[in-house]
Amino acid sequence: MKKLFKLTKFRIALLVILIAIVSIVIFRACSDNAIGRVLVYRIARDPTWYPLNLYGRDVNMTAFTNELLLEIARDQNFRMELLQAGHASLLPGLEGGKIDGILTTLLPVAKYKRQLLFSEPIYLVGPVLLLRMDEDLKGLQGKKGRIIAVKRGGVTVIDSPEDYPNLQIRPYDNMLTALEDMLKNKVDAIVMDAIPAHVHAHGFYQRKIKVATDPLTSDGLRLVSRFDNPGENLIEKFNKGLNKIIEDGTYQKLLDKWGLINTHLQTEKLEVEEGKLQYKG
């Protein structure tokens, strides 16, 4: 009887030890899942893509970014969970640790650089230069008194080297009026955000106007994460994957699949000098 009692006590002690060991293992595994450092990155985006105006292609952009993220995650060997959220809740959710990354048009300016990490641009949306089909940049550069139309009330930055000493800026309330004036030779060029510029150049004004430059600024859609180790790992992996799929042609195939225009045309660039012409109406 005493032996049986001792044996039972031994088994109970052994069972307690085993339960403790298993509990520690489960706790560590659950902790890793909760942090999401390795297993899953939670990435959120606003399906309306505010403040971008995609001219009815909101669903196309969502499908494009979904596949782009999956391609990058597969290539860089990480997992993610895609979430939807309203525009106003994206940044608070990221800063509060509820999500690990957001797709946003926030720019990597000083205001955010100490708290946030920014990927390379996924989709550029900054201003481009529109010209008539029979014009080119050299023609714009070679003549004096050229008039460039811009949106009134907006901020436009145009690279303005010494070869552009007499550029004149003409503000417009309605950019459709500016387009008509360019066709009537009343203005020589138009600065317009990339998306509407390509919509007009490939739509009603096809064969009449052309997009002559890549976006003149770095404005665009990016993946943004917190300034911590998981965030650094996510942005590093994402940038590597993004560059790879751009180089191997996957990026362009996804744009074509979902009916989106590649705003990064690698066109002839304006020469950059120290001087810059800025307008704020």
Residue tagged 């790879």 (tokens) = 244
Q: What is the reported pLDDT for 88?
A: 95
DSSP 162-224: TT-TT-EEEEES-HHHHHHHHHTTS-SEEEEEHHHHHHHHTTTTTTTEEE-SS-SS--EEEEE
Question: Quick one: fold of 127-217+267-280?
Answer: D-Maltodextrin-Binding Protein; domain 2 (3.40.190)
The pLDDT-based confidence of 167 (bands split at 50, 70, 90) is confident
* Exposed/middle/buried for residue 266 (C-beta within 10 Å: 0-12, 13-18, 19+): exposed
Average pLDDT over residues 109-127: 92
Q: Do domains 41-124+219-248 and 127-217+267-280 have the same CATH topology?
A: yes
Strands 276-280 and 127-132: unpaired
Do 123 and 184 contact (CB within 8 A), yes or no?
no
Residues paired with 228 in a beta bridge: none
Contact 223, 125 (CB under 8 A): no
Q: Which position has the higher pLDDT, 21 or 166?
A: 166
Tens digit of each residue's pLDDT (9 = 90 or more) over 84-102: 999 999 999 999 999 999 9
Dist CA 103 CA 222 (whole Å): 6
Which CATH architecture best describes the domain 41-124+219-248? 3-Layer(aba) Sandwich (3.40)
**pLDDT tens across 23-73, in order?**
333 333 333 444 444 468 999 999 999 999 999 999 999 999 999 999 999
Model confidence pLDDT, tens digit, residues 135-145: 888 777 666 77
User: DSSP string spanning 213-249?
Assistant: SS-SS--EEEEEEESSHHHHHHHHHHHHHHHHHHHTT
Angle among Cα 54, 252, 211 to the nearest 5 degrees reads 55
User: What is the residue-averaged pLDDT of the chain?
Assistant: 81
Are 215 and 124 contacting, i.e. CB atoms less than 8 angstroms apart?
yes
Per-residue confidence (pLDDT) for residue 156, from 0 to 100:
60
CA atoms of 162 and 268, how far apart (whole Å): 18
Tokens of 172: 């417009």
Instruction: Give residue limits of the domains in the chain.
Output: 41-124+219-248, 127-217+267-280
- At residue 42, φ and ψ (nearest 5 deg) are -95, 115
Using DSSP bridges, classify how beta strands 155-159 and 276-280 pair: parallel, antiparallel or unpaired: antiparallel
